[in-house]
Structure formats: C-alpha cells, structure tokens
C-alpha cells in the first residue's frame, strides 16, 4: 500500500507475462472475491484483497445477507477446480426436493429431479466464506486486509482509494489489475456509472416484493422440527414463505411479501397482533414451529430484492467486475452464489487460453459469460412466480409429474429446465434457458391439447412415446424460433 497516487507503475498496458510479476487487487472478500483470490493465488499472481467488513472468522458479524444458501453443481465444479470440495461437503445439507405446504398444513414432496443423485444443498454463507478465506491465505502470495472500505476506483490509473476503519485514514492502492467483487452495491461499478467516461449500460430492477429472515429454532437436543432434507415452500400466489435447514437443527425461514400491495404487506404488518393473524391464516403449520416469530419479525430488517445487469464489465485491461458486482440476481433459482463461483471457473478458462494482454482476457470473459448471467437473472425472476404460485397449479404439477417420470425412467434422455440449469454444470445458463423454456412450452401445450397425458400408471413404452413427442415438439419450437429470429 502507498499513500501517493503518483507512484503508480507507469506501465499503461500491462502484459500478462508470467503471473509472478503481476499485482492483482481484489475489492471485496465475499464468496466470489475469496474464491477468486484463492484461484489466482494458486496460479501464482501477487494478490491483495481489501474487504470492508471485519474478519468474519474473528468477529461475530451479522451477515446482513441471507444466512444460508443453495449450493449446487456449478458451485461444486468451482470447488473441484480449487481442490477443496472434500472440505465443503461436510458443511452441506442435501435438499432433495421442495416440500410444499398448503393452507391446511398438508404437505407434498416434489423432488428436484427424477434422478436421485441430483439434489441441491443448504450451506452456511459464513462457514463457506471462512473456509475460502483460510484456503486463500495459505498462499503466501495472497494477502487479505479487513476493515478497508473502498471509496472510489480510478479505472484510468488502475488505483483505488480506501478508508481504513481501524486507523481512520484513507489510502490509495495501486495495481496492474483491479477486480471488483464488491457485491450488488459495487463501488467499482458505481465509478463506471458516475464518471461517464465511456458508454456504460446499466440496469437496476427492483421486485415488487421485499424479504425478511425469520427462523425455526431446533427442537430439544438439536433435532429438526420439520423434515430436514427439503426446501420448504409455503406458496400463496401473492406471497410466500420458504425454509432451508442449518447444521445446528434450525431452519432459516424467509418471508417474501409485497411492500405495499394486498391485504397484508410489509408496510402494514406493524403490530404483533397483525403479524400473528397473518401467519395464523396463511402459514398455520409454520407458525406452530415458530414461537419466536414476533421477536424475529420486529428485530430483523426487511430488505429489497433487485436485479442488476451492466456492460461493459471491464475498462480496457485495467479493471473488471465479477460476481454480484457485475450481475446481481434475485434468489429464487438458488443460483446467485453458484453463478458467482462459475464466474471464477470461466475466468480461469480464459486465463488458460494464454492471451498476451488483460484487455483480451476481460473482453473474451465478458463475451462468453454475459449471455449466461443475463439468462440466470431472467430465470430467477421466472422462478419467483413459479415458487409463489405455479407450483400449486394443476397444469404445472402435471408437467412436473411427467418430467419426474421422464427423468426417473429415462435418465439419459431427459432433463427438465430446473435440471438443465441446476445439475448440468457444463451447459451454459443461456442454452439451459432456451431448451428448458421450449420443453416447458411443448409439454404445457400438448397437455392442454390432450395430445399427451401424464398418468403415473403409464407403461414404460407409453411413457417413451410421450417423451418422443415432447422431444420432437421441443425441436420444432426451437427451430421455429430460430427461423423467426433470423427474420
């Protein structure tokens, strides 16, 4: 670190050359930043990471973000890349499907896949992040500083200004390359936007709904009060409640609710009585497990849900956005963390290509990657609607039943949209989206037309015939879209 902005290395177009000579500054030691630091450390770069929060391994800090997350195959692929999957697995609780709770407290278990080896995991954000920090710090060419809040980035000079929360001073850090993994509220991205030095496309889109975290505490002796290996959903069309298990026997519960629409909304749930009334009507079986509801409700913050897209992610070969800083998404596909981890996998692939300069690396990374992060952003919004209500619709259930039969009976021949997105880590999000949507359209329309049906007592042969029809109609839809798109 140095305090003089002018001591910056004058090299204006740094070449990759050998990694040893290159100083990479990473802003933000969250999930993406710490994995990136680990990987670039493994590759031999000199890596400095600046994190605004205290070291989460030493101080008990409220994450301010969701406590547990869905961890699935794209995340697993990234953990394999850095060779720590064996350390991550003990932190995971498998969730094999959705446990759907109706108004009367009846439940239906809807598996995520017809293939039993395909499931997602609940994992603690804090524990996973701490592991990544530990692993990154094992490399002597990686240094992580805490309590250093980025204030601004000069992307033309490749320097960043930080406030040191420990000592109160500010200082300027320079580097050959700066990578902003500083989350949805990225300061690097804000510099791109506000400086207006190039044409920066940007969008922030807020959902009509906010969220609040609540909890189901463990039973006596640390037992789970409800079924452990599922993502629980209380879908009520206009709003929903979900719950994911934690290792200590608790569940983290999240309420997704409109800010201001409908009879019950965040703006009018202002008294204990009204909160209990709302949960009593809509989430009766959950309420029975949550004697702590009212305290949680009024102690915990209510937060907004937004999607951020932008372009370009990089300024020349100087700076690059990654993870939520480049593409923040809503949580409804359980892919936010997985997408950020996949950024590191994909960035690593581009580094393997052996380009001579960082501008080419950043360019190719964005060209390859942006279509996929745009797709998962859109899929996550779709899934918000699916989880709230469509999971309860007869035609949606019929489609899912049929897909479960396909996946179970012909595991090599069919993957639902959910499976393509979640369990097919070598297929990009965009291709998964296009094929998955075409399949959904094919099945829903053929069900509506009575061309196929989804009875569970179909013979394997009859089911095979239905699958063939679905595949032909899917190709048909994709081909028609292609012809119309080419106009």
Q: Site residues (CB under 8 A) for its own copies?
A: 199-206, 259, 304, 306, 309, 385-386, 390, 393, 395-396, 399, 437, 440-441, 444-445, 448, 480-481, 483-484, 486-487
CA distance 440 to 453: 14
CA distance 115 to 119: 9
Q: Which is nearer to its own copies, 355 or 437 (CB)?
A: 437
Beta strands 251-258 and 148-154 are unpaired
Angle between helices 336-352 and 31-42 (to 10 degrees): 20
* Closest separation in Å from C-beta 266 to its own copies: 12
CA distance 120 to 103: 26
Q: Which is nearer to its own copies, 80 or 151 (CB)?
A: 151
Q: Which is nearer to its own copies, 346 or 473 (CB)?
A: 473
CA distance 204 to 220: 44
Beta strands 251-258 and 302-311 are unpaired
Residue 40 main-chain phi, psi, to 5 deg: -70, -30
CA distance 108 to 395: 16
Residue 367 CB-density burial (10 A; 0-12 exposed, 13-18 middle, 19+ buried): exposed
Q: Is 95 helix (H, G, I), strand (E, B) or coil?
A: strand
CA torsion 119-422-306-370 (nearest 10°) is: 160
Q: Which is nearer to its own copies, 109 or 202 (CB)?
A: 202
Q: In what order do the strands lie in the sheet with 148-154?
A: 148-154, 159-164, 170-174
* Closest separation in Å from C-beta 474 to its own copies: 12
């Amino acid at each position: 670190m140095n305090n003089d902005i002018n001591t910056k290395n004058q090299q204006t177009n740094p070449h990759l050359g050998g990694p040893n000579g290159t100083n990479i500054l990473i802003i933000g030691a969250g999930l993406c930043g710490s994995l990136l630091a680990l990987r670039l450390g493994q590759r031999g770069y000199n890596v400095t990471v600046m994190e605004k929060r205290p070291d989460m391994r030493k101080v008990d800090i409220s994450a301010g973000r969701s406590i547990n997350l869905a961890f699935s195959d794209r995340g697993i692929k990234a953990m394999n890349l850095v060779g720590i999957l064996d350390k991550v697995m003990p932190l995971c609780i498998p969730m094999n499907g959705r446990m759907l709770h109706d108004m009367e407290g009846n439940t239906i278990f809807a598996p995520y896949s017809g293939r039993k080896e395909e499931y997602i995991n609940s994992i603690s954000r804090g524990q996973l992040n701490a592991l990544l920090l530990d692993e990154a710090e094992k490399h002597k060419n990686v240094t992580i500083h805490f309590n250093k809040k980025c204030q601004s980035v000069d992307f033309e000079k490749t320097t960043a200004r930080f406030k040191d929360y420990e000592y109160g001073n500010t200082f300027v850090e320079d580097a050959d390359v700066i990578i902003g993994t500083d989350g949805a509220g990225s300061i690097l991205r804000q510099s791109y936007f506000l400086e207006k030095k190039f044409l920066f496309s940007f969008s922030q889109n807020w959902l009509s709904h906010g969220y609040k975290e609540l909890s189901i505490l463990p039973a006596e002796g640390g037992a789970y009060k409800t079924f452990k290996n599922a993502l629980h959903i209380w879908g009520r069309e206009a709003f929903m409640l979900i719950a994911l298990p934690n290792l200590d026997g608790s569940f983290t519960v999240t309420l997704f609710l409109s800010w201001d629409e409908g009879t019950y909304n965040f703006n009018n749930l202002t008294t204990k009585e009204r909160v209990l009334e709302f949960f009593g009507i809509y989430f009766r079986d959950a309420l029975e497990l949550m004697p702590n509801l009212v305290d949680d409700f009024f102690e915990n913050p209510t937060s907004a849900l937004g999607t951020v897209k932008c372009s370009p992610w990089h300024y020349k070969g100087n700076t690059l956005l990654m993870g939520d800083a480049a593409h923040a998404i809503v949580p409804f596909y359980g892919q936010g963390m997985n997408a950020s981890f996949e950024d590191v996998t994909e960035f690593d692939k581009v580094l393997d290509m052996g380009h001579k300069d960082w501008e080419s690396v950043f360019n190719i990374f964005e060209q390859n990657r942006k279509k996929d992060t745009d797709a998962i952003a859109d899929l996550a919004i779709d899934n918000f609607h699916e989880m709230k209500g469509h999971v309860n619709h007869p035609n949606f259930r019929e489609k899912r039943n049929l897909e479960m039969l396909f996946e179970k009976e012909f595991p090599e021949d069919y993957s639902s949209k959910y499976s393509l997105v979640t369990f097919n880590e070598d297929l990009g999000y965009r291709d998964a989206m296009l094929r998955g949507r075409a399949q959904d359209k094919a099945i829903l329309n053929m069900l509506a037309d009575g061309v196929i049906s989804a009875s569970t007592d179909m013979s394997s042969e009859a089911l095979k015939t239905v699958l063939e029809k679905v595949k032909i109609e899917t190709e048909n839809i994709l081909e028609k879209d292609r012809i119309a798109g080419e106009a």
